[in-house]
Structure 1
């Protein structure tokens, strides 16, 4: 792939015939306004597709995609960035905005990618502001530059780039050849196009569907009788795990994975960066844990030091009441059952048994679950096993730097049973606030639609 100065149509055809050896094909994409453009020369037996239109803006780049579809997908991008001038009115800032879109596009494609071309960015001067910013973008998307020698004879700088992901194991070597007659040296990349050998993958599975429901329910009843009336949440979860191991023991099964699509996520980028910097992944997990813990501690300190205000414009419509909320009342088995059956049956890795199986055995488990919840409500102590969660750090916005911890928010996956007391407590608090008219009538966010808000919306719509 190269930059072709094709000229007029007649010269273009003659030039293509002259440049195309037997057994090869040549496809060129000349510029619409003046001479030059992009071209690709390839063996005629290869299964390839060409693409010159993209779902993102690239006003500062001439761009061509060449995809080899056998033995597996390899995407090669040829690009040229004209140097900014008063005539073309191109800006470095626009280029730095459009370049990440190209890497985002590469990471969403199935297969491996390599980007080659003349960026007119001096790779050999990393302290240059533009070069530094381009290298930051490459590092953010886990791409590396393979060309390490000067390629432009007039200035002696390295302005030709061949960037790729090291983890793809696509590029075996990248060398500069000075034997051609041009103001640029040739960049020769040797690619590993053989299909990689897949390692066997084993997963731990349980055949839950094969469990004899009657026998499982009978074992639950026997377990609860053995534990006695004062069963704790931890004892219940441990007992259910033992029964699941008995009726559907965990086995390792070899699974066949389909073709993977290389997708980019901030966490995988963090892990690859940690690997390059020789940072153990355990340290990265500890860094996230310490950061999120410090955020929680800071919020607690701010709440403790905050001075409550007696009133505000948003609470003036709240009625005063002499009543006070003294405590939570015990819940009935019917209330607990209603909340469980209305909850989404999503299973978390912390659940002792799959949630659908728990719902099937609800008649046997309902009394002990209700007892555990009532014990928590009356004692004011939340079971410690319900406080555990699996925390996933997610990038707040795709445009943010994934190497900065403050750009992440924590998402906690909780066990199914730990959410039931929360919903019952919310129900009791909401009933109390509603019965004493303690909700602000002007509040619309995080509230079910009320008659006041519906009437206000209707009035607003009628006045427009």
Structure 2
């Protein structure tokens, strides 16, 4: 049998074979005729499938077909990344009355969650407006005034998403003290505010007395809570290591397992007197990223972060309609169909009911109600771009002054600081004056502005109730009883007095029969358009259509509105659908 293929035999020596290792491999794909020939001679074989099924590749002993895909909650992941550490601060304002706006703006810019303020100089009575200015929307303010004389006082300004409660504290002769408790889920942090007035004729108390009383206070307070931050103005020069009272104070902190964190000047004189103190072994309230900058008085802000995440910002769910995306032509075409309802209804109640239902369907068709959640971020409404630039200029002059501390730069810095304080105070006063001017003649709006100025709560002051319907019925019963009582009082009036009143009325000019109105004159469409156009643009939540939209499209539905008014006047019937009202107390 002849060999169907001829093969060329080539011989290689050892060196040539070794050289082939460094030469890149080149693969040649044979043609179909060669592959068929190799298969026929049994040289080329294909490996079959196992039991007719392809072999499943296992990855590390795990059967991938048995794994279930888990959907990740990306919202939770985003919230974890957005969380930031809680930031606290302390500052001595030396009267907060004329610095409230500057203080709030700096707290907003630096994302400070709560700030301890010493020397507020607020009194128990007469400073409600200042407290209201500090309790802007998004913030709360609580303070402990000095009881015996003017000056002093400690306050805590914090964001309203924190759960803060005031704690009772003992009074001491050498220093003022105030305590608060902040709860963040399961973490409880005790805030202790300290202000020690310096020795003076009005306060002749030595540092030795302070050390005795402060040691007594630490023995009492350290056993009451696990996590604690003590901060405030101690008026002890911690930068003077050779001072005997400084050494004594440091030894006192060390003996109770406390550590003082501030190591940069906090006063314009270059001393460290505003302190932040925590427990040395408390890892939950450990302090980092400590900063001492921005002088609001002769003291600067001292801020730091603690190892706790801030609670989430306050969110509100609002329901609204997107009128911007509504097609005007399509809406007008549907509104014109409302005029045909007058022919289908016989009474005014039926007409108003059909009008309300059809109009509601049209509004929901073009602008359906949508609920969305918004995150509330507080801001000062009177803070402008000019004030921001002026503050930046003030900070630049402040850095120059703190660097060289010459008399010339001090004068320049004081002038710039006073200009900024006056500008921000003027902007705040102008904002509230314009709001009061806009509320002229509107008692509800004026009451709202006054409540904002005094920092009052914006929640509805409704009495405790379990059902809104029962509460509404109680209000109705109260006013009904008042009317019945008024009628009984009128019936019990003295007869002689009532006769004299009646005679005086009869003696007055009585209108003639020609001027007595015994029927209503029907209105036309022009009268309706004029009356509605001249009315106030106020909207109730029971309205089918917002008043601005009603005025805008009144010419389209004027015929049916005119028919409703004329039917009501002629029949003496007020539509039942329109007898509902929403009552909101001031």
Give the TM-score taking structure 2 as reference length: 0.41
Q: Report which of the two structures shows the higher radius of gyration computed on alpha carbons.
A: 2
Give the TM-score taking structure 1 as reference length: 0.50
